Structure 1
Amino acid sequence: MTTSDTYIDEQSRFTWVNGVRVHFKREGTGPSLLLLHGSGSSLHAFDPVAADLRSVCEVIRLDLPGFGLTGPRPDRDYRIEAYVDFVAEFLSGLGLDKVSVAGNSLGGNIAWNLAVEYPERVQKLILMNATGYPEKSLPTALRMARNPLLRPLLRRWAPSRAAEQNLRSSVGPRMDVDRALVERVTAMMNRPGNRSAFIDFANTDQSDRSGRITEIAAPTLVLRGDLIDGQHFGRDIPGSREMILARIGHLMPEEAPVEVCEAIRSHLGLPASHESSAPRK
């Protein structure tokens, strides 16, 4: 039986941040890059990206509170502001004063808010289907978690079939949702406390902070899948550059790792990958 402990490996590390035991990985040498995953996901979403980039930079990724092997916050505080402060404390614990930050979905929301609240700590910023605008549509899993009739059931049970359906609704036609991905997401969601944490997160009243997006000063690359709606970061962040990836849905790092790595290398001024000329599917 696949459990969340299956995904602990020799690169896994653990540290404590504000009473939460955090699972993270720190690989490679060179300029530091922090990767932040989306809701319902884990640091494993960046496996192919980290495998490529760790040859040219130091890649740091963590399971955010409420997800993966880090699990829930004791105080059940899943506001974006709480995530931002948590990530800042995590970086301080690693002795990192300034890093480049790349985030997907929720991770992108945390990343740009980190650049607003702690501008001195963000060297460069990469947003991948980031959230934060109020008109952004909700993924299926979040809509289900907000349903008062489904919430009690979801706190007790997260079947793999539901995980598979949600994953398929989140990706574009270029990605095959295979059994390994479904098993990983199901195992992480069924880790003790994670189902309730996800429901708490989904039902947290997030404040609209989109008016502060124009304050971002870090050089920013906006990566957007053409199947994703409600994003205006390329319009609102001064001096930002936007790239739109064709036939890409919500899970960009897993759907288009080659293009993502090429874009990150270019934005950070890192050497191009020898794989960058490989044909795309």
Structure 2
Amino acid sequence: MLMNFWQTMQNGFKGEVGAVSLEEMLARHTTAESQFIELQGMNVHYRDVCRCAEPDKAPVLILLHGIFSSLHTWNDWTDILSKDFRVISIDSPNFGLTGAHPRGMFKYIYSDFLNEFTDALGIKQCSLAGNSLGGWMSWEFAGRYPHKVNKVILLDSAGFFFVPPPVLLSMGLPLSGWMASMMPVPRKAMYATIRTTYSQKERLTKPVLERYYDLFMRAGNRGAGAAVLRFIRNRAGFDTAPLKNVTQPVLIMWGRNDAWIPLAHAEKFAKALPQARTIIYDDCGHMPMEELPAESAADALAFLKQ
């Protein structure tokens, strides 16, 4: 057994164990609408979809995914909402096909990135929807660049201190990113972790499970994601200072059966953002846009069109 471990470690020094090359990832996970833009030393993957009658006049909605996820988590919302909006979903730095940020993780990485991204695409104003870690990106951007943001939707958003699932907790420890890259990642263990994000496990299809595993194994993503978790851990949570500057209309969406970020956090956001309206989904976990796409997208559309 010790010999097998040593062989694994030796192989690891030659490259990440089980890593899937970017070329393979591009072949598997780009779509007809995939686009790329060079920003901050990264080739950023995003989708820009508008099926409106007058695309040039369509309001912009930017969608931001959570930890170890990708823009694909918004596929259903994109299909539904692109009839009324120019819907842009992004593989955020350190995740998805975009991969690791060359500077790793640092303060205001995501809000400053979004500022540059919107400038590069000529977007002067937009609305935002963010899930989990993407929720943090959304309210931080809205608080720091308020002139660019019309409305904000927070889906089971990160922002206040909580104890994450054990697998995320362990990946925030020192050397965890290196260890995760040097050791095999059992597919079944990854699937089991992803299933904890859903209230009704049967709603999580095999192709979706395989996509999450694939993009987790994209070269560089394990270490990059661990750096994000370590950054948050070392600061005992999130800097909520920008939250005080969020004055835009806000819709809070939460799954009552969220096993990752407790339902009580919806109340924390409602208290911090008195202008917010809250919707709780009784039969839902951590990702309403995936588990209840039609219902959550309809609620989002009603809020955005008010």
User: Is the shorter-chain TM-score for this pair beyond 0.5, marking a shared fold?
Assistant: yes
> Which residue of structure 2 lines up, in the alignment, with residue 20 of structure 1?
42
> Which residue of structure 2 lines up, in the alignment, with residue 179 of structure 1?
206
- Please give the per-residue CA displacement for 1:52-88, whole angstroms capped at 9, x wherever unaligned: 1111110001100111100001111254x11110011
Q: CA deviation at 1:158?
A: 3.1
Tell whether the 8 Å contact from 2:143 to 2:244 is kept in structure 1 after alignment. no
> Which residue of structure 1 lines up, in the alignment, with residue 239 of structure 2?
209
- Please give the per-residue CA displacement for 1:84-121, whole angstroms capped at 9, x wherever unaligned: 10011111100001100000000000000111100101
CA distance in 2, matches of 1:251, 1:51: 17
> Which residue of structure 1 lines up, in the alignment, with residue 64 of structure 2?
36
Alignment of 1:60-139 (within 5 A): 60-79=88-107, 81-134=108-161, 136-139=162-165
> Which residue of structure 1 lines up, in the alignment, with residue 253 of structure 2?
223
Structure with max Cα Rg? 2
Structure 1 unaligned segments of length 5 or more: list them.
Answer: 271-281
CA distance in 2, matches of 1:209, 1:148: 21
* Helix, strand or coil at the partner of 2:203: coil
Q: CA deviation at 1:215?
A: 2.5
User: Out of 261, 268, 281, which is 2:304 matched to?
Assistant: 268
With the length of structure 2 as denominator, give the TM-score of the two structures. Answer: 0.82
CA distance in 2, matches of 1:137, 1:56: 38
* Helix, strand or coil at the partner of 1:73: coil
Q: CA deviation at 1:51?
A: 0.7
* Helix, strand or coil at the partner of 2:253: strand
Q: More displaced, 114-123 or 143-152?
A: 143-152
Q: CA deviation at 1:45?
A: 0.3
Tell whether the 8 Å contact from 2:195 to 2:201 is kept in structure 1 after alignment. no
Q: How many residues align structurally?
A: 268
CA distance in 1, matches of 2:242, 2:31: 39
Q: CA deviation at 1:148?
A: 5.2
> Which residue of structure 2 lines up, in the alignment, with residue 248 of structure 1?
284
Tell whether the 8 Å contact from 2:144 to 2:242 is kept in structure 1 after alignment. no
CA distance in 2, matches of 1:150, 1:93: 34
CA distance in 2, matches of 1:237, 1:148: 34
Q: CA deviation at 1:178?
A: 2.2
Q: CA deviation at 1:147?
A: 4.5
Tell whether the 8 Å contact from 1:25 to 1:62 is kept in structure 2 after alignment. yes
Tell whether the 8 Å contact from 2:181 to 2:222 is kept in structure 1 after alignment. yes
Query: Sequence identity, in percent?
Result: 29
Alignment of 1:42-53 (within 5 A): 42-53=70-81
Cα 1:119–1:77 change in 2 (3 A) is same
Asked if residue 4 in structure 1 is aligned to residue 25 in structure 2, the reply is yes
* Helix, strand or coil at the partner of 2:88: strand
User: Alpha carbon RMSD of aligned pairs, Å?
Assistant: 2.0
Q: More displaced, 208-217 or 221-230?
A: 208-217
* Helix, strand or coil at the partner of 1:52: helix
Tell whether the 8 Å contact from 2:177 to 2:225 is kept in structure 1 after alignment. no
Structure 2 unaligned segments of length 5 or more: list them.
Answer: 1-19
* Helix, strand or coil at the partner of 1:95: coil
CA distance in 1, matches of 2:60, 2:83: 12
Q: More displaced, 93-102 or 168-177?
A: 168-177
User: Out of 210, 214, 217, which is 1:190 matched to?
Assistant: 217
Higher helix share: 2
Tell whether the 8 Å contact from 1:144 to 1:151 is kept in structure 2 after alignment. no
CA distance in 2, matches of 1:20, 1:259: 35
